[in-house]
Structure 1
Amino acid sequence: MSVIAPGSRVVMHYSLHLEGGFVADTSGNEPLDFVLGDGTLEPGLERHLVGLEPGAQREFAIAPGTVFPFPTKAAVQVMERSAFPKDMPLEPGLIFEFNTPAGDVVPGRIRSLEEGAVTVDFNHPLAGQPFSFVVEILEVGDAPAADSIPERD
């Protein structure tokens, strides 16, 4: 039976649970199909998968700061209300996707609204929080040949 190693193709269900049971992320009904090390998962999560085989079900306790960094004040920015569409209702807790100058897309959560200003937190939503990483491994195999991988848009 195959075991997960760097470069393995892995098909699995997963969920991330915060303290109190809130599910922060999940594969839902559609399993995640990826190659270990391709950047789909954070390396701090991938390391827990090495050595598992199909049928394995595990729950890993993830300590704050070990996968996602601790929050920083520098990641909290005040933006002008005019930077957002006029007809867009803004409220604390709302999460938006922002384009960076480098062309990346990053999530930002609105923390507060004041006269013409919006405070946005760009820290990762799980930054500084303990959580559980729950997995069920469905398949493990060899990574597909590079020329057989479809290009992503």
Structure 2
Amino acid sequence: MTTPNPVKQPVNADSTVIFHVDIKLSDGSAAESTRVHNKPARIRIGDGSVSPAFEAQLLGKHAGDTLTFTLAPEDAYGQPNPDNIYYLDRSKFSSDSPAEVGMIIGFTMPDGSELPGLIREVAGQSVTVDFNHPLAGQTLTFQLEVLEVQ
């Protein structure tokens, strides 16, 4: 007796999708990958965690499918928002976490969560901290491997 092959469920508007993703910048260099620590991404279609353009690429795909697509900044991590750039007094930084250009420092928010900020500039007593996503403003190529559709 043969066991029938289960029908692979396609990604639809109610799906949870588990996938590996490799993100590349427009120059081809690697930006992020879930494969580094073997921790696949998980999203629920329609939950707002990714853009509608990203979700549209997944619709109709099945476990085992691979796909590559490129998104403009507006459809990926958005454009940098000038309102997410803050100027802090250098005294707010400790010797454990000095304000040095290029460092990413976690700042504790009023609700207790932590938000990473990139030190863009240190001038005298003023420190410029950018809270935009590091990939904001970038055209990105995504390579996905769909692992599971629920």
TM-score normalised by the chain length of structure 1:
0.78
- Alignment of 1:26 with 2:33, yes or no, is yes
What amino acid is the match of 2:39? E
Q: Over residues 11-65 of structure 1, what are the superposed CA-to-partner deviations in whole Å (9 max), with x where a residue is unaligned?
A: 2111211122222222122322443334554544233211111111111101122
Equivalent position of 2:92 in the other structure: 83
Trace 1:29-48 onto structure 2 (pairs within 5 A).
29-48=38-57
The 1-side partners of 2:42 and 2:73 are apart by 26
Equivalent position of 1:12 in the other structure: 19
Q: What 5-or-longer segments of structure 2 have no aligned partner?
A: 1-7
SS in 2 for 1:48: helix
What amino acid is the match of 1:130? T
Trace 1:43-122 onto structure 2 (pairs within 5 A).
43-122=52-131
Segment drifting more, 83-92 vs 117-126: 83-92
Q: What 5-or-longer segments of structure 1 have no aligned partner?
A: 142-153
Q: Looking at CA atoms only, which structure, 1 or 2, has the larger radius of gyration?
A: 2
CA RMSD of aligned residues (A): 2.1
Question: Alignment identity in percent?
Answer: 37
CA contact under 8 A between 1:12 and 1:32: conserved in structure 2?
Answer: yes
Equivalent position of 1:150 in the other structure: none
The 2-side partners of 1:9 and 1:128 are apart by 27
What amino acid is the match of 1:61? T
Deviation at 1:104, TM superposition (A): 4.3
TM-score normalised by the chain length of structure 2:
0.80
- Alignment of 1:128 with 2:128, yes or no, is no
Deviation at 1:110, TM superposition (A): 0.5
